[in-house]
Every structure is written in structure tokens, then in C-alpha cells.
Amino acid sequence: MTHFTKIIVASLLATPLLVGCSSTPPIESTTNAAQHYIDFDQCAEAADLIRPVVVQWPGEWKAQFIYGKAELCLNDLPEARHALEAANARMPSNMDVVFALADCMEKQKDIPELYLLLRNAGAEFRSAEAYVKLAEIADSTGDMDSEKTALLAAIELDEGYGMKRIISPYLQMAALQDKLGDKAEALRRLRQAYGVNPNDPRVQSALQERGQVLGPTLALPGGI
């Protein structure tokens, strides 16, 4: 541990202990300190620090989340999954928890449960990002049908208002259509991505590689 890290963690823990719980560190400061350890790839220290909080207060979703991330980093997948499932049960709308649990399931190669988790998160919480994550995993397994279905769901959910607009499903759909040999559809999806964000260098580069001249007339509105 670096001297700087020791100072930060010590300051985070320098708060009064909860009355009647003198054997267990305070929840918030301990959780913050454990996250700091993870940020610096000190996952064993993070797990050791947050574990007593999880044991004492198993209902604290954020402590379970941090503990799960630490154990996932340490590749203790059963322990990580147990903690992340506990966090997800208490905070199912938090996509950071969902994605961490998805990463654990992917490492365990539990693809059916992984698909179910992300489909449910996408549908219940109208998360285009959950569908994009599902599409990325489907792509890695060569499941083009599930990838396409997930990307269409992401595009349909992304209503296009302000900061909600994302280009990732259009870019990934263009890549998928290229694999399927449909160059015209791939170009259409890139032009939609350009309509969503004409300043994105990935979109600009992909269009220019196809011989397209950038400008307002190239943009297409988003949507299915």
C-alpha cells in the first residue's frame, strides 16, 4: 500500500463507530475506503476491509456491491456472485450492480442467467444500456440473433431526448450488418448514429471509410 493510499483510507475511517457496534467499522466510511482500494487495484485489502460490514449488516446493498466487486477482482466467483445478487435484490434498478453481476455471470459462463438478468433490467427499467450490454455478450458468443434482438430493443428504448441519446446500439448494429453482408443497412445505421451525434470520431471515421462526405444531409433520424 502506498503512503498516499494509507492516508486516504485512514481519513475515510476517522469517524465515530456506531453505538453498540464497536467491533465493526462504520458503514459509509468503510465502504468509501474499500472502493478506494478497488480503484487502486488493491482488491484483497478492499475485501478484508468491507467483509465485517457485510457480515454485520447483510442488508446494506452498497457494502454487498463493493464486496462483490472486490471478490470478482480476486476471481472468487461464487463469493462475488452471492454478494452481487444480494446487492441486486435490494437495488435492482442500479445498472452498476446489474453490470457487475453480469460480468460475474459471464466469467462463470452462465449465459442463460446472464441473458435473463439483462433482458429483465432492460425491460423493467427501460435501460438501453442493459440491452447494449446483452448485445455485446451475445456478440462475444457468436449469437447473432440475440445480438440483433437486443440492439433493436436498445434502439427502440432510446427515445432521443437530450442526454439519453446514445450511439452505441447504432454502431454495433452497423458492425453486425457488416458481418451479415448487408452493407446498405450498415450504412443506414451509421447515418443514424451520425444524426444522433455528428461529432463522434468513431462515426465520422466509419462513414469516411465508406466514402461518405460528412455534412447535414448525411444524417438520418434515430429509430428502428
Whole-angstrom distance, CA of residue 184 vs CA of residue 40: 45
pLDDT of residue 24: 54
pLDDT at position 17 is 39
Cα 117 to chain centroid, rounded: 12
Alpha helices in the chain (DSSP H): 3-13, 27-39, 43-56, 61-73, 77-90, 95-107, 111-124, 128-140, 144-157, 168-180, 183-196, 201-209
Architecture of domain 1-13+23-94: Alpha Horseshoe (1.25)
pLDDT given for residue 71 in this prediction = 98
pLDDT at 25: 63
In the prediction, which pLDDT does 15 show? Answer: 42
Closest-CA residue to 123 (of 162, 149, 103): 149
46 close to 9: Cβ distance less than 8 angstroms? no
> What is the chain's pLDDT, residue by residue, as a tens digit (224 residues)?
554 444 444 444 444 433 334 455 688 999 999 999 999 999 999 999 999 999 999 999 999 999 999 999 999 999 999 999 999 999 999 999 999 999 999 999 999 999 999 999 999 999 999 999 999 999 999 999 999 999 999 999 876 544 457 899 999 999 999 999 999 999 999 999 999 999 999 999 999 999 999 999 999 998 88
Contacts of 177-184 with C-beta under 8 Å, sequence gap 24+, read: 179/144, 180/144
pLDDT of residue 130: 95
Q: What pLDDT sits at residue 16?
A: 41
Task: Give the phi and the psi of residue 41 in degrees, each rounded to 5.
Answer: 60, 30
